[in-house]
């Protein structure tokens, strides 16, 4: 924006050549807000308890630690509605799982919170742990340095015997495979690279694949995880924090996100009255800002179905969902 010859001049640039723009010809804030909501959707009323004090930190590493905090909050009469669990609650950073050593009885832990009139929030990210090594895309588009994230072995110190070395190797646990990764790959619900092969990026678990939320089937698949009884997230006292959903990719040195030439399968219905799907491929550069909102949409719709179907009853409950990535219309979820 600049002033030129007494005029205000705006200039926009867009890498893909497409710009969607809404102009509001009024300085009335209330009017603008009303029009914005009409265009992008109304936010639901927030869960009442979410308006209270929330206790969150990086990180509570054990069930014992979280329950100690819960007890101290009660002892010191600190009104608290939600306690949050960041990524370390999970087994090897695989979402919808618990580290059984650190959190041996998650249901018991949740019951203790509920008895204290508190609820739980767990983090769920869009990347899924993969076992392949990560190598950065070295194309000009990706603008990244090549990084090999495969396991590296160090030369054994001289003061260790061969028997000690062999024993230490035997004690190393095999690489864990996330069921979510296996299913998503088998059903072709993950993002692909520019060669239309599996895109493997790097995030908290290390090598990771990414759910392709532009694919309608991927949205349904991801949302259905909140209904599975074996997941603590199926409990109505558990709420969700969608993080790292820009999406974040550590191996991309410059932009910390997917290479712009990554491929998404964008599926949508022909109309609101039709069950027929149209499927197109788009590069990430075309749709980057929409990734986070579609993840939030997937989680939101899954939580709504969870709470309606709870214990065979028909109950409409409001859930709490926090998304790190936000876009025009995110308030609907």
pLDDT at 147: 37
pLDDT at 133: 64
Q: Would you say residue 298 has pLDDT above 70?
A: yes
Strand-pair partners of 268: 278
Q: What share of the chain is helix, strand, coil (3-state, %, to 5)?
A: 30, 15, 50
Alpha-carbon dihedral sign for residues 280, 283, 286, 289: positive
Percent of the chain residues topping a pLDDT of 70: 83
CB 305 within 8 A of CB 317: no
Q: Which two tokens stand for residue 33?
A: 């807000």
Summarised one tens digit per residue, pLDDT across range 196-254 is 999 999 999 999 999 999 999 999 999 999 999 999 999 999 999 999 999 999 987 67
> Using 50, 70 and 90 to split pLDDT, how confident is the model at 173?
low
Strand-pair partners of 83: 55, 120
* E strand or H helix that includes residue 207: strand 206-210
Averaged pLDDT, 101-107: 97
| CA–CA gap between residue 36 and residue 29 (Å, rounded) | 10
Q: Angle at the Cα of 242 (from 229 to 49), degrees rounded to 5?
A: 75
CB 302 within 8 A of CB 309: no
pTM, whole model, 2 decimals? 0.84
> Using 50, 70 and 90 to split pLDDT, how confident is the model at 149?
very low
pLDDT at 312: 58
CB 113 within 8 A of CB 60: no
């Amino acid at each position: 924006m600049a002033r030129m010859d007494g005029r205000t001049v705006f200039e926009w640039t867009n890498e893909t050549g497409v710009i969607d723009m809404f102009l509001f010809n009024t300085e009335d804030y209330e009017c603008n807000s009303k029009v914005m909501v009409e265009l992008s959707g109304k936010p639901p009323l927030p869960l009442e308890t979410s308006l209270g004090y929330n206790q969150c930190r990086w990180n509570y590493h054990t069930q014992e630690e979280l329950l100690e905090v819960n007890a101290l909050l009660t002892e010191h009469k600190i009104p608290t509605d939600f306690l949050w669990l960041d990524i370390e609650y999970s087994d090897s950073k695989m979402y919808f799982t618990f580290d059984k050593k650190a959190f041996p009885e998650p249901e018991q832990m949740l019951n203790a919170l509920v008895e204290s009139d508190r609820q739980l929030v767990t983090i769920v990210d869009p990347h899924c742990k993969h076992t392949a090594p990560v190598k950065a895309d070295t194309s000009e588009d990706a603008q990244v340095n090549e990084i090999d994230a495969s396991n590296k072995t160090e030369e054994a110190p001289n003061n260790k015997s061969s028997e000690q070395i062999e024993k230490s190797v035997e004690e190393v646990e095999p690489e864990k495979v996330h069921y979510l990764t296996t299913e998503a790959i088998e059903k072709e619900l993950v993002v692909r690279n520019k060669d239309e092969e599996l895109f493997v990026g790097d995030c908290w678990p290390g090598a990771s694949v990414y759910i392709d939320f532009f694919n309608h089937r991927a949205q349904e698949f991801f949302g259905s995880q909140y209904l599975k009884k074996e997941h603590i997230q199926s409990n109505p006292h558990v709420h969700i924090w969608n993080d790292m959903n820009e999406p974040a990719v550590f191996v991309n040195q410059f932009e910390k996100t997917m290479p712009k030439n990554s491929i998404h399968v964008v599926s949508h219905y022909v109309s609101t009255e039709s069950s027929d799907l149209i499927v197109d491929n788009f590069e990430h550069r075309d749709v980057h800002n929409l990734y986070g909102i579609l993840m939030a949409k997937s989680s939101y719709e899954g939580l709504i179905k969870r709470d309606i179907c709870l214990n065979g009853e028909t109950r409409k409950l409001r859930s709490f969902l926090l998304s790190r990535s936000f876009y025009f219309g995110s308030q609907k979820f």
